[in-house]
Amino acid sequence: MPASLLVVLRMGLAGLALGVLFLLTGGLAEVRRSGRGRRLFLAGLAVGLELLFYFEAIRLTNVTVGVSLEYMAPVYLTLVAPWLLHTRRRAVDVVAIATAVGGMAFILLPSLTVAWSRGSLLGIVCGLLAGVMFAVALLLIKSVGPDVRGSTVALFFCLGSVVLITPLAVWQTIGSASQFTLADGGIAAVNGLIYTALCFSLFADGVRFVRVEHAGILGYLEPVTAPLWAFLLIGERPPWTTLAGGALIVLAGVLIVALGGNAAEQPLIEPLV
């Protein structure tokens, strides 16, 4: 199944579930009060591009490369957030991001070398672009402010993604020889209802209460566990460098939790208008 079709099915199913919740719980009034409808839709477009680049990176390289390059986003955020959101760069942020990037290098470099030797340059580029889109989405989510629920933010993720990617999905599906199977439907349903409707809502809620840089660093728990699932489910055996890198990333998360303090600063959001 083309990656674009998987994104559309995933976000469409999640959007249906979240749309019902949105309509039953006063979501329209919530968006009107916030005045951030346009910004929410832009966040949805960024997430749609992120997912598309992410799936293509995995398809063209492997799970470790795709996930690790996507999670370069905290590096970009640490560099640009102080200017765009008017937050202060703190010593603990720099130490944590350096530790996490060191761990990511341990995880990524062996797989990146293999991918490069196989001529998977396009997959590497897609992974880097996924990271950029992830950073953009986080900045937009943070700029929306604390008065919009995570489930509402996730609904706009779905709307933006479906609008953006459906034409591409139709074109790629018609031009491919793939046959939609029951397994494909199950994968789309699990991705849509659990990993999108539920998990995206929880993640968007969490971003409201922490610094945007911290949200990205704590999100590194995903690439730490990705090689484990890749080993259990599709037989990708992680080298010792992956284990060492995972330990460094967990350490970075501990630094943020233990030393980051109550750092949920409310940034100035007007510069992102």
> Digits of tens for pLDDT over the chain (273 positions)?
787 888 899 999 999 999 999 999 999 999 988 888 888 889 888 988 888 888 888 888 877 777 777 877 777 777 776 676 666 667 777 787 788 778 777 777 776 676 666 657 888 888 889 989 988 888 888 888 778 899 999 999 899 889 888 988 898 888 887 788 888 889 889 999 998 999 989 988 887 777 766 676 677 677 677 777 777 888 877 777 777 777 787 777 677 666 655 544 444 334 343
Say if 38 falls within a structural domain. Answer: yes
- CA dihedral (183, 184, 188, 191) in degrees, to 10, reads 60
* Host domain of residue 152: 3-89+118-216
63 inside domain = yes
Q: Is residue 109 part of a domain?
A: no
The three-class DSSP label of residue 87 is: coil
Q: Measured between alpha carbons, how far is residue 33 from residues 18, 27, 146, 209 in Å?
A: 19, 10, 12, 20
Q: Is residue 173 part of a domain?
A: yes
Q: Which of 212, 229, 77, 71 has its CA nearest to residue 144? A: 212
CB 130 within 8 A of CB 53: yes
Q: Is-above-0.75 flag for pTM? A: no
Is residue 167 included in any domain, yes or no? Answer: yes
∠ CA 87-88-92, nearest 5°, is: 125
- Give the number of domains in the chain: 1
113 within domain boundaries: no
250 inside domain? no
For residue 35, is it left (φ>0), alpha (ψ between -120 and 50) or beta? left
**Is 247 among the domain residues?**
no
Euclidean distance between CA atoms 259 and 251, whole angstroms: 12
